[in-house]
Amino acid sequence: MLVNRKLILAHFWLAFAVFGIALTLGAWQMFIRSPIGTWLSNPELYYRSLTAHGTVMGYVFPTLVAMGFGYAISESALEQRLVGVRWAWAGFWLIVAGSIMAVIPIALGRASVLYTFYPPLIGNVFYYLGVVLVVVGSWIWVALMSINLRVWRKAHPGAPVPLAMFANVAGSYLWAWTAVGAALELLLQIIPVAAGLKTTIDAGLARVFFSWTLHAIVYFWLMPTYIAYYTIVPRAIGGRVYSDTMARISFILFLVVAMPIGMHHTFADPQVGAGFKFIHSAFTALVTLPTLLTVFTICASVEIAARLRGGRGLFGWIRALPWDNPMMLALAFSFVMLGFGGAGGLINMSYQLDASIHNTQWITGHFHLIFGGAIVIMYFAIAYDLWPHLTGRELIDLRLIRTQLWLWFVGMMITTFPWHWVGILGMPRRMAYFDFGDPGIAPQALSVTLSAIGGFILLASGILFLVILARGMRAPQTDAGPYRFALAVHQPATVPVALNTHALWVGLMIALTLTNYGYPILTLALNEGTSVPAVYVGAQ
Amino acid sequence: MSTEESHHDGAEVAARVERRWATISVIIIVAMALLAAFAGIHRATMPQPRVETTDPSRLHLSGEFVESNLGSVLETNGNVTVRAIGQQYSFTPACILVPADTPITLRATSADVVHGILIQGTNVNTMLVPGYISEQPMRFARTGDYLMPCQEFCSFGHEGMWGKVKVIDKTEFADRAKGGGRLSCVGQ
């Protein structure tokens, strides 16, 4: 029952439009710093582009997808009109306003601080205020998801919350809490300095605050993808969810353990001691558990679909899968990229191995493979699956859709594998150009060139994606019927309270964050004399 | 499912398989954490354990990181200590001179924004955060030149911030160290 289609379409269109812009910037960056580009006479342009690319891809694009998808889930899974539509539009327009406010100083070169902020570098105050508006807009969505679920519960006392909505609300709580770290950094530290009220800032404390956001934000990006794995893929390929219970446990685990692990981003930092570095490393190992459970459950769900289609044998069933179905293809690509990206992630969070690749191109390769690859390819699949229900028109050209998915997968492989490799060779991140004439850097030239070619393949795929969606707006009309989610093999009649509500787990999430972050933040905040003079960007 | 009973069996099989997988997953995770703890305790390699602070606006006036104290020094126990600072957009010393086959302690900090030190071809890799002192143990098996880029974005000139490490023979280094003072590639 999708009533507020305009609202959902607005979120998706804005998400994919800004995605298209940021993707173009990304491809340009790959090109300009590769041996096939010529050196920029003004390297500052590169950092403007990089700031815009990161800000859009990190804060605006996935947030809008999660919001639009969340509204769609709320209306269709709960079969209930969205409560608070006006507020939802207010949230949307806040994000529009915030994005415009942030992008102007970036374009003027007044906020080239990258989306990770990096104080004591300080940019124009409107950049930070724009980011704050985007986050505030998304918090309205968090509140609406919670309210809508509450309204539904009142009408259906004791009934199991549909899995898609249970996961969606878990994702929204995760986002609300993980955004608090960056919000504290912005409101308490950066914005007072950017506004001229203060001139010094504690860079070490800021890095710890940001690590609070930096890791769990990835799991927020991941949520729509995991929701699609569990609740869309099995339905789209004619299977069933292997286990509804395991699905709920996975989402709960994400909610609880995605948060208190961010300090594995600060292993190489001097302002955090060994104890908390180790604790965060161990907790990061724990966060692999929900992914391992998910891989198992989804493979089992897919196998059910294959066997229902007549697949036989230990592995022979794989051939019986509907490979011409874009959803099947997207899932397979997503899993391959999740596998490689996840393995790389284990190295990043390792107490020992991280030193070999910290802040090298390996890291950039890693999160492009996980986020740009495994996650975003499912965003595409979600859009393709929802589009006919939102527009009332059919996406006819499945072959074009398959081509787009193939291009994205191949492009991402060609981009990120050489990227990992040059990282192992020690190539640093975020540089506008490299002197490939230096004998120490020359061996990396071929890999960087390959990555740039991959970047252009990704750009082609991204354009194709937008073309397919735009054509879908003018295709022949169709009645796609109600939007449905996958059923479990054993659809639960009742669910234990712990697996049907979030309160306990949100409490645990907050408690674990306080134990894992409270002491380091408190000692850093109380430490006198570590505030350093701000360095204003674009002031000269 | 033909009968209620086989349906029930199926559910049990599913639950059992799932439990097994979950157990295997947990064992893998615990083993990983234990390995990391073991290697950390044995100091095979681990991140910087201690937190030390310094005032970046007074670095050039007094204390460990005044200009005359930057560079490599041979300690009485035969080990070497290297002191360096990063600032927009260079390292001081720009070329660090160290001996091969010697335990070396790198102590470094930043004079302005966040920088990083990465020595290519090694796992020497640390952040320089203004206000804090970074310390890294290192040891080079081979002589030669290593590139040492800044690995953290430090504003518009970041791409030009490349230092070098020159590793020379142990006895040659000892000879040069006889004159006292702090060594770097200057005069090499």
- What is the pTM for the complete model shown? 0.95
State how far the Cα of A198 lies from the Cα of A194, in Å rounded to an integer. Answer: 8
Q: Is A429 considered catalytic here? A: yes
B1-27 burial: b if 16+ Cβ within 10 Å, else e: eeeeeeeeeeeeebeeebeebbeebee
**pLDDT at B1 (0 to 100):** 37
Please name the residues between 8 and 67 in chain B that touch chain A, using a CB distance below 8 Å: 10-11, 14-15, 17-18, 21-22, 25-26, 28-29, 32-33, 36-37, 39-40, 44-53, 55-57
Residues on chain B touching A425 (C-beta within 8 angstroms): 120-121
B36: closest chain A residue by CA: A351
Q: What is the mean pLDDT of residues A413-431?
A: 96
A424 contact B CB<8A? no
**pLDDT at B43 (0 to 100):** 67
A305: nearest Cα among A314, A292, A318? A318
Residues on chain A touching B85 (C-beta within 8 angstroms): none
Per-residue pLDDT band at A39 (split at 50, 70, 90) = confident
Q: Is A433 considered catalytic here? A: no
Q: Which comes out higher in pLDDT, residue A414 or B46?
A: A414
Please name the residues between 371 and 410 in chain A that touch chain B, using a CB distance below 8 Å: none
A289: nearest Cα among A321, A256, A323? A256
Which of A215, A265, A393, A420 is flagged as catalytic? A215
**pLDDT at B3 (0 to 100):** 43
Domain boundaries, chain B: 1-46, 52-177
State how far the Cα of B140 lies from the Cα of B119, in Å rounded to an integer. Answer: 11
Which of A264, A368, A389, A502 is flagged as catalytic? A368
**CA of B179 to nearest chain A CA: how many angstroms apart?**
32
Q: What is the mean pLDDT of residues A506-525?
A: 94
Per-residue pLDDT band at B130 (split at 50, 70, 90) = very high
**CA of A280 to nearest chain B CA: how many angstroms apart?**
11
Please name the residues between 291 and 330 in chain A that touch chain B, using a CB distance below 8 Å: 292-293, 296-297, 300
Residues on chain B touching A281 (C-beta within 8 angstroms): 33, 36
Torsions phi, psi of B167, nearest 5?
Answer: -100, 120
% of chain B with per-residue pLDDT over 70: 94
**pLDDT at B50 (0 to 100):** 87
**pLDDT at B40 (0 to 100):** 78
Checking if the pLDDT of A342 tops 90, the result is yes
A73: nearest Cα among A158, A137, A149? A149
What digits encode the pLDDT tens for the residues A442-470?
999 999 999 999 999 999 999 999 999 99
Checking if the pLDDT of B4 tops 50, the result is no
Q: What is the mean pLDDT of residues A527-539?
A: 87
What digits encode the pLDDT tens for the residues A109-166?
999 999 999 999 999 999 999 999 999 999 999 999 999 999 999 999 999 999 999 9
State how far the Cα of A374 lies from the Cα of A381, in Å rounded to an integer. Answer: 11
**B9, B34, B132, best to mutate vs chain A, most A CBs in 10 Å:** B132
Torsions phi, psi of B31, nearest 5?
Answer: -60, -40
User: Mean pLDDT across chain B, nearest whole number?
Assistant: 90
In CATH, B52-177 is 2.60.40.420: yes
Which of A92, A219, A220, A434 is flagged as catalytic? A219
Checking if the pLDDT of A276 tops 50, the result is yes
**pLDDT at A67 (0 to 100):** 98
Which of A430, A433, A471, A484 is flagged as catalytic? A430
Per-residue pLDDT band at A540 (split at 50, 70, 90) = very low
Bridge partners (DSSP) of residue B137 are: B105
What digits encode the pLDDT tens for the residues B70-111?
999 999 999 999 999 999 999 999 999 999 999 999 999 999
**B9, B87, B125, best to mutate vs chain A, most A CBs in 10 Å:** B125
Residues on chain B touching A537 (C-beta within 8 angstroms): 155
Amino acid A249 reads: I
Q: Is A335 considered catalytic here? A: no
Domain boundaries, chain A: 5-536
Question: Do A428 and B55 lie within an 8 Å CB cutoff?
Answer: no
How many residues in total does chain B contain? 188
A501 contact B CB<8A? no
Nearest to B159 among A359, A360, A431 (CB): A431
**A32, A116, A243, A351, best to mutate vs chain B, most B CBs in 10 Å:** A351
Question: Do B158 and A431 lie within an 8 Å CB cutoff?
Answer: yes
**pLDDT at A38 (0 to 100):** 85
**pLDDT at B10 (0 to 100):** 74
Residues on chain A touching B114 (C-beta within 8 angstroms): 118, 120-121, 203, 207
Distances (CA, A) of A235 to A242, A390, A392, B97, B121: 12, 18, 20, 64, 49
State how far the Cα of A266 lies from the Cα of A355, in Å rounded to an integer. Answer: 11
CATH class of A5-536: mainly alpha
What digits encode the pLDDT tens for the residues A290-310?
999 999 999 999 999 999 999
B33: closest chain A residue by CA: A282
**pLDDT at B188 (0 to 100):** 61
Specify the range with the lowest mean pLDDT, choosing from A177-186, A196-205, B124-133, B177-186. Answer: B177-186
User: Mean pLDDT across chain A, nearest whole number?
Assistant: 95
User: Is residue A94 within 8 Å of residue A140, measured between CB atoms?
Assistant: yes
Checking if the pLDDT of B7 tops 70, the result is no
What digits encode the pLDDT tens for the residues A207-249?
999 999 999 999 999 999 999 999 999 999 999 999 999 999 9
A411: nearest Cα among A445, A380, A382, A377? A377
Checking if the pLDDT of A32 tops 90, the result is yes
Bridge partners (DSSP) of residue B81 are: B73, B105
Torsions phi, psi of A211, nearest 5?
Answer: -65, -25
Q: Which comes out higher in pLDDT, residue A274 or A10?
A: A10
Residues on chain A touching B14 (C-beta within 8 angstroms): 242-243, 300, 489-490
- Token pair 């298209």: residue: A20
User: Is residue B116 within 8 Å of residue B74, measured between CB atoms?
Assistant: no
A432 contact B CB<8A? yes
What digits encode the pLDDT tens for the residues A476-499?
998 889 999 999 988 888 999 999
What digits encode the pLDDT tens for the residues A43-59?
999 999 999 999 999 99
% of chain B with per-residue pLDDT over 90: 71
Q: Is A264 considered catalytic here? A: no
**pLDDT at B6 (0 to 100):** 56
Most trustworthy range by pLDDT among A439-453, A519-533, B32-46? A439-453
Q: Is A215 considered catalytic here? A: yes
State how far the Cα of B187 lies from the Cα of B181, in Å rounded to an integer. Answer: 13
A67: nearest Cα among A139, A121, A149? A139
User: Is residue A134 within 8 Å of residue A63, measured between CB atoms?
Assistant: yes
Residues on chain A touching B112 (C-beta within 8 angstroms): 120, 532-533, 535
ipTM: 0.92
Please name the residues between 181 and 210 in chain A that touch chain B, using a CB distance below 8 Å: 202-204, 207
Per-residue pLDDT band at B2 (split at 50, 70, 90) = very low
User: Is residue A444 within 8 Å of residue A422, measured between CB atoms?
Assistant: yes
Centre a 10 Å sphere on the Cβ of residue A147 and count the other Cβ atoms it contains.
15
Question: Do B130 and A532 lie within an 8 Å CB cutoff?
Answer: yes
User: Is residue A9 within 8 Å of residue A470, measured between CB atoms?
Assistant: no
Q: Which residues contact B80 (CB under 8 A, 6 or more apart)?
A: B72, B73, B74, B98, B99, B102, B103, B104, B105, B173
In terms of C-beta distances under 8 Å and separation of at least 24 residues, what long-range contacts does A319-325 make, across chains too?
A321/A237, A322/A237, A322/A238, A324/A398, A324/A402, A325/A236, A325/A237
What digits encode the pLDDT tens for the residues A388-410?
999 999 998 999 999 999 999 99
